[in-house]
Structure 1
Amino acid sequence: MARFLNNEAAKGWEELCRAATSNTWDAWVVLTERPRSSENLGRQHRLKGEYSHHIIDGDKLEQWQYEVTSGGRIWYVIDEENSTVWIARAGTGHPKLTD
């Protein structure tokens, strides 16, 4: 199951859907079926450093990134215990936090 961590992530997802429908659908399939996939490391990888984890309900969970377009990104958090992938950040522009 996938859920949005906040309203900003949901709005960013909507932007991605409008800008790149097919790629966003592909991302949804990967995130919900194989969130740790190493099939395409150019598009999907674990974030590093201070962004490698995200705290949700007191649990430190892995945070990953999926590249939807050349600028569009999805940051997501894998919560295995609850069988949930949390969409933490999504949008058509590259997140400047990792520059």
Structure 2
Amino acid sequence: MAKKSPVSRPTKKTENEILFASSQAAKGWRDLVATRRNAMTDARDFLTRTPTAVTPANDRLRGELATVSYHGTTYDRWQHKPSLRDGARIWFFVDGQTVLLEDVHTAHPNETK
């Protein structure tokens, strides 16, 4: 019998793929999954299905933070709140059907206070 290993959730053709755009995003995601697993599962589902829907938990950032440059291309920067009860934030941008996680904050980021 083969060694046990996790089975990754495949995305449907209508869903977006989620990638880390930075090592900080990967670390922040891992830290939030460790402390807020259910909220992060819901966040992942939201980001794969409707990342640019404007909701109380998801909106474009404004002002100086409204855009991000990645590999020479400028994108709209979005912010997702895994929970409305705490300050954790996921900053991301969308390129076609790919959601790139730029930064994952375990607490409210100082830039938006």
TM-score of the superposition, structure 2-length normalised? Answer: 0.79
Structure having the larger proportion of residues in helix: 1
Which residue does 2:8 correspond to in 1?
A: none
Matches within 5 A, 1:8-87: 8-38=24-54, 41-69=55-83, 70-80=86-96, 83-87=97-101
Matched-pair identity in %: 32
**Whole-Å Cα distance in 2 between the matches of residues 14 and 72 of structure 1?**
13
Runs of 4+ in structure 1 off by over 2 angstroms are none
**Whole-Å Cα distance in 1 between the matches of residues 65 and 40 of structure 2?**
22
TM-score of the superposition, structure 1-length normalised? Answer: 0.90
Structure 1 position 53, deviation (Å) = 0.8
Structure 2: runs of 5 or more not aligned: 1-16
List per-residue Cα deviations over 1:34-71 (Å, max 9, x = no partner).
11113xx2211000011111111111111100111311
Structure 1 position 87, deviation (Å) = 0.3
Structure having the larger proportion of residues in strand: 1
Q: Secondary structure at the match of 1:90?
A: strand
**Whole-Å Cα distance in 1 between the matches of residues 40 and 105 of structure 2?**
11
